[in-house]
Amino acid sequence: MAKVLQKKNHWTSRVTEVAVSRDARGELNVPLRGGAESGQFAHVGPLPDSQRGPLAEGELVLEVETLSVSGLPLYDVRAIIAGCQGAVRLKTVRPGELKSGVQMGANRVYITPHVFIHSFDAFSENLPT
């Protein structure tokens, strides 16, 4: 019997690839922020209205020219970009949303340390000697 597979909303379905051009000075037209040295993934910085397009502020940079840059410091990401010729292909993903406490399972029953200790004491009293 065949099972019906439901499509999961996985983050890989939101990955986009975009070619970013350089300005007259040879600089990338997209500001990058973050990086491992600041405890973040490299991400797209604030974009002026004239540069709005397929990229949005805050998108995480996953790859530069098929080279994974996740977890690299920003200076390494910029060095990889500097070594590229012409337009640079970036793979990015928009960060996901955090779920509220109720959606994360706040309605679950949690055992507090006091209840656990009380249960352990009751269990140990009933052990055969």
Contact (CB, 8 A) for 61 and 32: yes
Q: Does residue 1 register a pLDDT over 80?
A: no
pLDDT digits (tens, 9 = 90+) for 10-68: 667 788 899 988 888 888 888 999 999 988 999 999 987 766 678 889 999 999 999 99
How many other CB atoms are there within 10 angstroms of residue 58's CB atom?
A: 15
pLDDT digits (tens, 9 = 90+) for 90-104: 999 988 754 555 445
**From the CA atom positions of the chain, what is the Rg in Å?**
24
Q: Specify the pLDDT at position 120.
A: 54
Q: How far apart are CA 59 and CA 41, in angstroms?
A: 10
pTM, two decimal places: 0.65
Q: Specify the pLDDT at position 107.
A: 47
Cβ neighbours of residue 60 closer than 8 Å, sequence gap 6 or more: 41, 42, 43, 70, 92, 93, 94, 95
Contact (CB, 8 A) for 52 and 43: no
Q: What is the DSSP letter of 58?
A: T
Q: Specify the pLDDT at position 113.
A: 52
Q: Which is higher by pLDDT, 120 or 21?
A: 21
Mean pLDDT of 104-120: 51
Q: Specify the pLDDT at position 6.
A: 58
What residue ranges define each of the domains in the chain, with the CATH number in brackets?
15-95 (2.30.42.10)
